[in-house]
Amino acid sequence: MQITSDIFGQHQGQDIERYTIANQAGNFIRVITLGATWQGFVVNGKPLIVNFDSVERYAGPANYCLCKSVGRVAGRISDATATIDGKEFHFDANENGNTLHGGPNGFPELIWNAKTAVHDHEASVIFSRSIPSTEDHFPGDLEATITFTFNDSNEVTVTFNATTTAATLFNPTNHAYFNLTDGQNDITSQQLQINSDRMLELDDRKLPTGKFNEVKNTGCDFKTTTAVTTALKEIKDQTGKVEIDDAFEVTPSDSDPIAVLSDADSNRHVSIYSDRNGLVVFTANPLDDSKPYNAVAMEAQTLPDAINHDGFGDIVLEPSQPKEYTIKYKYYEN
């Protein structure tokens, strides 16, 4: 295993560092300090995630949060309001009156500190940041680390750790956008399988209503491997929607994947493992939204807006009770 680094560019007068972790086979991932962003995943010379080629494309809110680490809370907090330990808090709103992906001063816009660790068969880049409450306007000063580990088995593990000085919210993820096809021009040969029976009912602001819908007999039934384009057609026929932007309930597991994305033409697969109960799936073209979809985003997390819905999961981080969450992505061919 080997780690190299270079300067990817500058943002707000600071150098943005890029780290490349390469394994024995010459496959590699890349991460950058702006947004603790996963900037590359290349196996056998083929890129597997969508990426921008400049710091400028990653900076600012109009970037789809492309492969960025998002938090303190991934997804939307409805009406930018939540009750934590009996006290109501109001957060910074940045989308239709809601707080999205940690708000305007969340993880995606921060420049993170970085250090490295290299072992025989795996290597890591560890991003860290002290985030005072005055910076992102969540309660509690947060000490956070985001660790990207790559190994000789072509597995990428992202681990999120945090401690706080006051009760706060913590439900981070990586907003990874995948395309396993040659050229990454479209998703016509992409297939998806999700180990889920239910998805959240969402309102017109894409907020959970609190209800679950069965996926059976809908375009969102991915219990068996399904072409993404087939699902999109069924969804449009059934609902009029032209995209997938939905939250699925999954069973946390480190041995059974919550989802598998594959490419029918090349037999490339990426399986996803998570220790939380939600998976948000989103189709987009971050490179040119005037063209057909060229990416499938998959965000493993606790179900969105959990703090405002009983039974969705506990995302409260208490002082002296550190939390750790892990997402693993395994590449294979068969």
Q: How confident is the model at residue 171 (pLDDT cuts 50, 70, 90)?
A: very high
> What backbone torsions phi and psi does residue 193 show, to the nearest 5 degrees?
-130, 130
Q: Which fold has domain 2-333?
A: Beta-galactosidase; Chain A, domain 5 (2.70.98)
Q: Give pTM, 2 decimals.
A: 0.98
What number of other Cβ atoms are within 10 A of residue 240's Cβ? 7
- For residue range 294-328, what is the model confidence (pLDDT) as tens digits? 999 999 999 999 999 999 999 999 999 999 999 99
pLDDT at 2: 98
Helix (H) / strand (E) element for 210: namely strand 208-214
What's the mean pLDDT when you consider all of the chain? 97
Sequence-separated (6 or more) residues with CB below 8 Å from residue 288: none
When pLDDT is averaged across residues 139-149 and rounded to a whole number, the result is 98
Where in the sequence numbering do the catalytic residues fall? 175, 299
Angle at CA 183, nearest 5°, toward 182 and 188? 70
- For residue range 37-91, what is the model confidence (pLDDT) as tens digits? 999 999 999 999 999 999 999 997 778 999 999 999 999 999 999 999 999 999 9
When pLDDT is averaged across residues 11-27 and rounded to a whole number, the result is 98
* Helix ranges, 86-158 (H): 133-136
Q: Is pLDDT of 334 > 90?
A: no
- For residue range 200-226, what is the model confidence (pLDDT) as tens digits? 999 999 999 999 999 999 999 999 999
Q: How far is CA 87 from CA 23, 172, 307, 310, 311, in A?
A: 48, 22, 12, 16, 19
d(CA 233, CA 121): 43
> What backbone torsions phi and psi does residue 234 show, to the nearest 5 degrees?
-65, -40
When pLDDT is averaged across residues 103-110 and rounded to a whole number, the result is 96
Cβ contact 218:234 at 8 Å = yes
